[in-house]
Amino acid sequence: MTTLTEATGEAAARETPARRRRRRVDHLPYLLLLPCLAIIAVLLLWPLGQVVWMSFHKLDSVRQLRGDREWPWIGLANYAQILGDPFFRTVLRNTVLFAVANVALTMVLGTLVGLLLNRLGKKMATFVASCVMLAWATPALTGTIVWKWIFDDTSGLVTWLFNKLPDGLSTALFGRSDWTGYGWFNDPLLFFAILTLVVVWHSFPFIAVSVLAGLKSVPTELQEAARVDGAGPWKVFWKVTFPILRPVFGILVVLSTIWDFKVFTQQFVLAGGTQDRSTFMLSIYSYAEAFSPPPKYGLGSAIAVILTVILLVVTALYVRMVLRQEDE
Partner 1 sequence: MMKKIALNGAGLLVALFAAFPVYWMVATSLKPNREIFSSTPRPVPAEPTLEHYREILTGNLIPGVTFTDFFLNSVLVAGATVLLSGLVALLAATAVARFRFKLRTTFLIMLLVVQMIPLEALVIPLFLMIQRLGLYNTLPSLILTYLGFSLPFAVWMLRGFVAAVPKELEEAAAIDGASRAQTFRKVLFPLVAPGLVATSIFSFITAWNELIFALTFINDQQKYTLPVAMTFFFGRDDTAWGSVMAASTLFTLPVIVFFLLVQRRMVSGLVAGAVKG
Site for partner 1 in 106-135 (CB under 8 A): 113, 116-117, 119-121, 124-125, 127-128, 131-135
Nearest distance from C-beta of residue 262 to partner 1, angstroms: 5
Nearest distance from C-beta of residue 188 to partner 1, angstroms: 20
Considering beta carbons, is residue 159 or 192 the nearer one to partner 1?
159
Q: Are 103 and 259 in contact (CB under 8 A)?
A: no
Nearest distance from C-beta of residue 15 to partner 1, angstroms: 12
Is 147 a residue that touches partner 1 (CB under 8 A)? yes
Backbone angles phi, psi at 73, to 5 degrees: -80, 125
| Cα–Cα distance measured from residue 59 to residue 296, given in angstroms and rounded to the nearest whole number | 6
Q: At a CB cut-off of 8 Å and minimum separation 6, what does 182 contact?
A: 153, 159, 162, 176
Backbone angles phi, psi at 57, to 5 degrees: -120, 160
Among 88, 160, 185, 249, binds partner 1 (CB under 8 A): 160
Q: At a CB cut-off of 8 Å and minimum separation 6, what does 201 contact?
A: 135, 143, 147
Among 58, 88, 152, 276, binds partner 1 (CB under 8 A): 152
* Selected range binding partner 1 among 65-73, 89-97, 100-108, 183-191, rule: CB under 8 A: 65-73
Sites for partner 1 among residues 17-36 (CB under 8 A): 18, 26, 28-30, 32-33, 35-36
Residue type, 6: E
Considering beta carbons, is residue 149 or 243 the nearer one to partner 1?
149
Is 157 a residue that touches partner 1 (CB under 8 A)? yes
Among 251, 258, 276, 292, binds partner 1 (CB under 8 A): 258
Nearest distance from C-beta of residue 182 to partner 1, angstroms: 14
Half-sphere exposure in the Cβ direction for 320 (13 Å, CA): 8
Nearest distance from C-beta of residue 51 to partner 1, angstroms: 4
Distance of CA 327 to the CA centre of its chain: 25
Is 174 a residue that touches partner 1 (CB under 8 A)? no
Is 228 a residue that touches partner 1 (CB under 8 A)? no
Beta bridge partners of 57: 73
Positive or negative, the Cα torsion across 203, 209, 213, 216?
positive
Sites for partner 1 among residues 178-207 (CB under 8 A): 201, 205
Positive or negative, the Cα torsion across 216, 136, 261, 56?
positive
Residue 27: other Cβ atoms inside 10 A: 8
